[in-house]
Amino acid sequence: MLSARIPFLRYYITLILLGLIAGNGWTQMLNNKEGKAFDNAFLFNRSFIWENKIASITAIKQIKLPGRPINETEWKEVMSFNSTGILERKMLTTQGASFQDSSSILFNRNDIGQLFSIEQNKKTETTITEMTYDSNGKITREDIKQILHLQGENSREILVESTTYEYSFPQVNVVVRNNINNYGLSYSSFTTIKNDQGFLMKEIENFFVSQREITTLYEYNEKGWVSKTTTTDNTSNEKEETTFTYDNKGNVIFAKRNINNLPVEEFEVLYNQASMIKAILHQDIASQAITIHKYEYEFR
């Protein structure tokens, strides 16, 4: 009986070590631990999904333009999670007057939760991203492949990009990742600096040929939540600042992004009484257009 429980116990211990079960203070639905909740896709906290037994989340999109009523789009995204809160699949559907398009993304993980491949399927092509890790859980290689599905022909596989990662530790709490392309040439590095408490304080991305350097600084409030990020680029005079506001439970309720002190975009997050997200509103300041993502849930 004990031997049958060992894989689960090992998995449970791994979750604790990764800070996904208890004691991390990050059980909010929207994961803003490193100030990246609104970058690209919205980041949902795995532990929140697990604790609340959420099986899937469906998002629909509405658009509000100045002086016009809200436009109900035909955009829909369904995110499916396994019983431990891991995202397994995304299904995206868009529809117009004369077309309907759909795509899916599969997230494949090993028995300790490491993401080893992402498979994105569209009508005529499949893009696969494969990851390899070292014994410490750091990614050491990433391969991006594309499979073309041509009508009347056999499928063709193309290696689009291959990147190898090497790590060094020049100081305590400092990690430098060296990025090497498929020709064996080192083209960039990514440095992370944390304090003694494990909080991310600084990120530096260097591109060797262009000598471009992008630096992001992180600030925290008295509760340890990210209050501000500041990003500078040595190839431009722009300084991008993002500030975050939280409720008393630690849920992000507002974010504002400025460039050179001028507002660029704003995010507002609406929650229900159970701290589940009802909607995320994004406003582009220049056009005053508001994009609304509304969420519905299915539970286990």
What residue has token string 């795995």? 46
Q: What is the CATH number of the domain that holds 288?
A: 2.40.160
Q: How confident is the model at residue 97 (pLDDT cuts 50, 70, 90)?
A: low
DSSP secondary structure code for residue 33 in this structure: T
- Would you say how long the chain is, in residues? 300
Q: Got the DSSP string for 158-199?
A: EEEEEEEEEEE-SSTTEEEEEEE-TTS-EEEEEEEEE-TTS-
Q: Which residues contact 165 (CB under 8 A, 6 or more apart)?
A: 138, 139, 140, 141, 142, 177, 178, 179, 180
Q: How confident is the model at residue 15 (pLDDT cuts 50, 70, 90)?
A: very low
Predicted pLDDT of residue 180: 98
Determine contact, residues 231/240, Cβ cutoff 8 Å.
yes
**CA distances in angstroms from 1 to 101, 111, 112, listed in the order given:** 49, 20, 21
Residue 155 has pLDDT above 90, yes or no: no
Summarised one tens digit per residue, pLDDT across range 71-82 is 999 999 999 999
Q: Give the structural domain span for 94.
A: 2-299
Write the Ramachandran bin of 46: left for phi over 0, alpha for psi from -120 to 50, otherwise beta: alpha
Residue 7 has pLDDT above 80, yes or no: no
Q: 207 by DSSP, 3-state: which?
A: strand
HSE-CB at 211 with a 13 A cutoff on CA atoms is 0
Overall domain count for the chain: 1
Predicted pLDDT of residue 274: 93
Q: What is the pTM of this model?
A: 0.85
**CA distances in angstroms from 224 to 15, 26, 132, listed in the order given:** 21, 10, 32
Of 5, 10, 21, 36, which is closest to residue 216 (Cα–Cα)? 36
Higher confidence at residue 18 or residue 231?
A: 231
Summarised one tens digit per residue, pLDDT across range 250-281 is 999 999 999 999 999 999 999 999 999 999 99
Predicted pLDDT of residue 277: 97
